[in-house]
Each structure stands twice: as structure tokens, then as C-alpha cells.
Structure 1
């Protein structure tokens, strides 16, 4: 198996195993535990997670909060238009994706007297816009507040339905705090309030923030994966978390976003900025010891990240077992712990 070929990361997944709705309660999700030292596999439930995390471990979580980044409106001509916020830029400008043909200078109108002017057309479908509310430029927090009232969550492409009130609760971690993500860091979604409180009591617990962008859903198109251009996402790491990463203490990363951010810091020592790190078997982790994650799409950068921990053959073996055991896959699916 060539770990640098996209096709190596393919696997067969029955459509009925794709989770389209969350599990209730959150911590009732199933958990596959893979212990590397003994090559053992345990099938359990997420509420038993703490039985498998080594006691001297520090746990790092992503406290990003998902915003309602998808908003529908009209062009000056009256034609329908849809904007998907990707990331704030400087000077009240925003990187967005727009469904519908636009040009520089186009005006787009939304509810609550919000409108946008197209400022620049960039590559790969990205556009730069300026937002205005009642003719005044709006800052990021004002925009997020308006979008909370008129916008919609961007659910993953595997969930072929519109967002509902159920998603507004379930597609947000119980410790979400810093607004700015377009998509949820989904490994975090399994923690109930009770489990989160227990986690903080039992383990040294730290946070960082990485705002998951729309690029997280971008497929790998290049057959040779090192030709893939990884998307960038805005991150910030508090001083206490930086000190933890700089220490020798064993780390459990809750999710791929936490993993990439820790590993980016370990390589650059930049406390904040834009993370575009692509982890795969030829670029493995140098700092994260253990990983908690969901089951990811075939040929995605996320399954390649899992393979960076345990190798492609072991990854595909575990995924085949998960399929056989009818685990639920993708964003609202079940979890896997690698220790």
C-alpha cells in the first residue's frame, strides 16, 4: 500500500451507516478503542471513555463555537443568492463562498437590512465581500449576531437535509465558547455536560481555538496526496496550553482540529495565525500521543491524519471492523480512541 496515493485510503461504506442525526444522549455514542501497545480492540460506549485514557494524560479540546454561516438572499436583479461565510479578514472584509454568479461591485441583500458588496473574486470559488447593516459597516461580532438570527448552520455534505432546531443544540459542543467556526469539531460533540465536568476533575484539561472553515469539506483531488493544497484555518493557543505542549506530559487531542493545531505549534511555535498542516503517514505527529476522533470519509485528509498515527494498513483494518460492527460514520457518528 502506497501511503502517498489517494486511492490507498478508499474503503467501502454502506450508505445506511452514515449518521444523519445525532445520538441522544450525546455520550451514548459507541466507542472503538484501539490500544497500540497490545494491538487490542475494545467495543464500548463513549460514556466509558475515562476507563481507557491513561491517568497521567493531559486533554486538549477545541472551544470554537459554530456560527450560522449560511445565509440566503437576493441580488439587485431579484435573483436568489446564497453566501457561506468562510473567515473574517482585515478591515471588516470577509472571505466567503457565493452560490450564484457575481462580479466585483455586485450588491447582495438579506433580511434585517443586511447587505454585502463583492470586493474581490479569488481562486477556488472564494470571494471577498464587505457587509453592511443599515448602510454602516459591521464588525465581526455584529455580523455573527445578525447571522444567529437569520442564518443557518452548514451541515456536512454527508447530511443531506436542512438544519433544524435539533442541530442548533447537537451540532455545538457543550464547551463551545469562541465564535467563528463554520463546521463543528465533531469529536467534541460526544461530551455531555456531566462527562465534561468529570473530565476536568480527573485530567489536566486545556483549550485552544481553531475555527473550522468550509475548506474542511474540500475533497482531495490530487492522486498523489502531497500535491494536495491544504486549506488554512484561523487558530489561537492560550499561554497555558502552549506551556503544556512545550512540556513532556502525554497529550490526548480531542479531534483532528486539536491535533493539527498542536502539531502546527510544535513545528512553528506560532501561538496564533493560520494553520494549514497536512498530517499523513509521511508527515506523522511529533507531539500528540493519543487521539479521540470520529470515523471519516474515504480518501479524505482526516482519514489520512488517522493513518499518520497508526499507519494505513491498521487504519483500513479498523475501519473494516467498524463497518462490520455497524458503527455510525462521519460528523454525527460514533467515535474512536487511539491510545
Structure 2
């Protein structure tokens, strides 16, 4: 299967540059996984498609303000670090820009000296291992000095940092938001719960690899990035009980979907665990746990549109995307949503 099979023409003006004032006021395209039939709704209408006994699985990761801009000691040259992965002992794997300033042994200062950094190692892929030093609590220093690492296709400044967080975000560690969850309000979640739908949380820390383009010509040749996940005993029990009773599992976002499909066994059962996943889901994949998916509209030729196509069929999905462009839906992180429903 070729990557170009997942291309569609997207006018640049449809890429949402800012979130709507009201989270659940975004549009919702409802797509029947079997027939491809399309309905146009508002996100708050999602409750109409969820039944008592179903379980909705949300990713409670929280985005770190992981973009740090500072100066090189001595020369004063500007440096930008993007924190990718915590390695322990105040050491992180980072992207550095410009890389030529971040050679082994180079030191940097951020803010008024509240945070300092030294390059410990340069990896084969060009990323740097950075050792930070500071007083107090690292997360508080980062919250004070760091900026949100918005996706490369968003060119406008985000005034309220919380709008790139879900209302239920809790576990800090992501370099990007699980954007399907941005549409939920606390009030909508309460309504869903009151209807008898279970809500459980899992954690998958989203890496920047989620924006990495697929450079291989054949899908099978693409290597996925690895991301850390956690599933609790409580969440596992609710999910297994839901499956046993014949009710549906609704994954909120591709991150929740990938986590569930990583953990699920051939019978669709999950168990409490944590680890790293590099699962790549594309057409031909048989879903073990996930029945329905809430997701945003994704980039052409991306691994995310391939995942969506695996669940609802490539023809149905590309037709839905063609309709979304025609109907002027808003795309990507701050855009509208799609619900792939199973009749």
C-alpha cells in the first residue's frame, strides 16, 4: 500500500489557527464505519451516539511547556531547546536549534539564570542529551520559562496556554496535546456520565513524532516513533467488563486508540501495565479493543489518517475528508471533530 493513496487536497485556509471560544461548539462529522453515511452535527451532540454501558476512554496526559529559548554562555547566541523525553536525574533528550551551537560541553542560560543547561551528548539522529540545573522544582521553573510547543502548522500565538490542554489533563509529559479531547467541557463530560456511560482515563505521552511526515513510499517501510503509556487496574477492569457485556469502547483520539490496541490481547482483553508503544495501525489491521473513535481531521498522507482508514475503510474516510473540505470544516489540532460510529 502506497503513502500517496492517502493524499487529499487541503486548502491552507482550512487549517485552524486558534481554538473556538466554546470547546464543544466545534462541528462534528459523524461517519458510519460500514456504509460511509455522513451526518453533520455540533460536538455537543456526541452524547446522542453514546449508549448506557458504553465506555469512553480518554488520554489524561498534560502538555509540558517544553519549548525553552535561552542564550549560549560566552557568546550570547540564541538557542532553542524542545524537551522530548525525560531520562532522569534532570537529564532530557531534546531537539536543539541551531544545532551548531549545541556541541558537547556547551552551556546555556534561560531566563535570569533560574535555569542552566549543559550538552552531555549528541545522538545519531541529531538530538541532544541535556543536563539541567536549577533551584526548586523543575516543573515550576519550566512553567515559568517554557512555551507551549504548538504544531508547526499553527502560526498564530496562543494567548491562553490552557486551550492547548484538555480539561481533564493531569499527567505531565507530552510534547503535543491529544487534540480530540480538546472539544470536551467538564459539563459535557458530566452529562455523558449521567447518561450511564463509563469514563476511564489512560495516559499516553504524545511525542513530536506524531507530526513527523511519512517519508517511505510504501506504508510498510515506515517506522513509528515510540511513546510511553500507562493503563491502571481500574481502567482495565471497566474496559474488560464493557467488552464482556457486549457494549462499545469509544476511544477519544488516536493516542487512546493506539494505547488500547497495544495492550489488548487477541480476545480484546486489556490488563494494567505501562511501557512503550510504537504500534502502526493502517488498513488491513484488525481492531481488538476499540469499536468507535472520536478524532480530529488529520494531515494528508499521515499515519493518523491511515489509522482512521483502518477503522472505517479508506474509501469511506477519503470521501468524508472530501466532504469536510467542501463543507469548510476546520482541520488539525484546533479544528473540528469526526466520530467514526459503529451501527
Please classify the TM superposition score into its range, dividing by the shorter chain length: over 0.9
**Alignment check: 8 A CA contact 2:114 2:141 kept:** no
Which structure 2 residues correspond to residues 1-339 of structure 1 after superposition, within 5 A? 4-76=1-73, 77-100=75-98, 101=100, 102-111=102-111, 112-133=113-134, 142-162=137-157, 164-166=158-160, 168-202=161-195, 203-247=197-241, 248=243, 249-267=247-265, 271-339=273-341
**Alignment check: 8 A CA contact 1:206 1:241 kept:** yes
Provide the secondary structure at the position in 1 that maps to 2:108: strand
Shift of 1:179: 1.0
Provide the secondary structure at the position in 2 that maps to 1:175: coil
**Alignment check: 8 A CA contact 1:245 1:262 kept:** no
Within 2, Cα distance between the matches of 1:65 and 1:36?
30
Within 1, Cα distance between the matches of 2:72 and 2:286?
46
Shift of 1:170: 1.2
Within 2, Cα distance between the matches of 1:222 and 1:152?
32
**Alignment check: 8 A CA contact 1:114 1:133 kept:** yes
Change (3 A) 1:270 1:282: farther
Provide the secondary structure at the position in 1 that maps to 2:316: helix
Within 2, Cα distance between the matches of 1:10 and 1:175?
33
RMSD: 1.6
**Alignment check: 8 A CA contact 1:69 1:153 kept:** yes
Change (3 A) 1:9 1:234: same
**Alignment check: 8 A CA contact 1:245 1:266 kept:** no
**Alignment check: 8 A CA contact 2:33 2:316 kept:** no
Within 2, Cα distance between the matches of 1:284 and 1:331?
27
**Alignment check: 8 A CA contact 2:67 2:83 kept:** yes
Within 1, Cα distance between the matches of 2:118 and 2:95?
13
Provide the secondary structure at the position in 2 that maps to 1:259: helix
Within 1, Cα distance between the matches of 2:104 and 2:205?
27
Change (3 A) 1:285 1:161: same
Within 2, Cα distance between the matches of 1:227 and 1:90?
32
Change (3 A) 1:232 1:61: same
- Under a length normalisation based on structure 2, what TM-score does the superposition of the two structures give? 0.91
Shift of 1:283: 2.7
Within 2, Cα distance between the matches of 1:123 and 1:240?
40
- Under a length normalisation based on structure 1, what TM-score does the superposition of the two structures give? 0.92
**Alignment check: 8 A CA contact 2:17 2:334 kept:** yes
Within 1, Cα distance between the matches of 2:48 and 2:236?
27
Within 1, Cα distance between the matches of 2:167 and 2:56?
16
1:205-242 deviation per Cα after TM superposition (whole angstroms, max 9, x unaligned): 10001111112111111111121111111111111112
Unaligned runs of 5+ in 1: none
1:67-106 deviation per Cα after TM superposition (whole angstroms, max 9, x unaligned): 1000100112211100000111133321111112222222
Of 230-239 and 47-56, more deviation after overlay is shown by 47-56
1:94-138 deviation per Cα after TM superposition (whole angstroms, max 9, x unaligned): 11111122222221211142111111211333211111115xxx8
